[in-house]
Amino acid sequence: MQDFLQQTLSGETPQPQSGENPQLRWQWWDEGILELTPHQPTRQAIVISAGLHGNETAPVEILNQLMTQLLKGEKALVPRILVILGNPAALRADKRYIRCDINRMFGGRWQQYEDCPEARRAWRLEQAMETFWQAGDHVEVCWHIDLHTAIRGSYHPRFGVLPLNQREWPENFMQWLSAAGLEALVFHRAPAGTFTHYSCEHFNAASCTLELGKAQPFGENDLSQFAAAKQALASLLFGEPLPQNEETPRRYRVSQQITRSSDAFILHMNAETLNFTAFPQGTLLAEDGEKRYYVQQAREYVLFPNPHVAPGLRAGLMLVEDNAHNKTTGS
């Protein structure tokens, strides 16, 4: 197997299902799930996922280019890795999802949904992640990089979202995120059903959702925009030098979540509202029957506004700047 993406999109089981080259051994676990293990011992076990949303194709293309180099034996592999294309059916259909948003289902939340392709897939991905990390002995580096693109444009086209974490983030992990060309980092303060929250909570992984540009169909992405992210991934996988990034990402933390609870929900933002748009204190953001959402701080920034989510799901996050950190770093 030399093209992981095309093999996944074909919907067929590869023959054979395992193999090796001078650099590594590979094992196909399931549709869109591939383990690669270097011949030399390693204490790094890293999960890299993309395509949880089937219309977010740029990260899938970037990841597949790197996997092709590995599978052809053109590059040495440093860590043991599990590569995941999260929602193959949605990738084939060029849709965000088939029935439900898989990235709200992790941590067992899939059990709360009707039986649908995404619920079964979330369960399978949880199993795969558990099997992968339980197999490693004396793992010292346990990371999960989940690659996405955003539905709409953004004042920060490349940013990362980190899950709730009671521990200190590893310094080398934060340095890697900066080297990946991210302009902003958003820190969650509450549990969520995302893949990165699951890996962080259950396996103590250093996890981050990378948002790289805006969702486009296969073949329509300007991958040059994400050269730093691709080079940072190459550094992680191949042991190549990290790209130099003189800018320190600005830091934000979640101040409140806007949740759509009913069909009466109204989001007071238009479809052209960019991620990280600022709103002054007192602005009415949304209403849902008698419930009202207002800007509570002097200034808050919106992230992922989407009035079309299913009832009970997040229709947007409001952020505040981490002023203490941003002033210290001069960013």
Is 240 annotated in a binding site? The answer is no
Helices (H), the chain: 4-10, 58-71, 88-93, 117-134, 171-179, 195-203, 227-238, 323-329
Residue 118 has phi, psi (to 5 degrees) of -70, -35
Is 56 annotated in a binding site? The answer is yes
Is 53 annotated in a binding site? The answer is yes
Choice among 35, 118, 183, 211 that is catalytic: 211
- β-bridge pairing 44-50 and 80-85: parallel
- Burial class of residue 11 (count of CB atoms within 10 Å of its CB; 0-12, 13-18, 19+): exposed
User: Does the annotation count 168 as an active-site position?
Assistant: no
Residue 113 near residue 205 (C-beta atoms within 8 A):
no
Residue 208 near residue 196 (C-beta atoms within 8 A):
yes
Residue 30 near residue 82 (C-beta atoms within 8 A):
no
Binding positions are: 53, 56, 148
Binding residues for Zn(2+): 53, 56, 148
Q: Which residues are catalytic?
A: 211
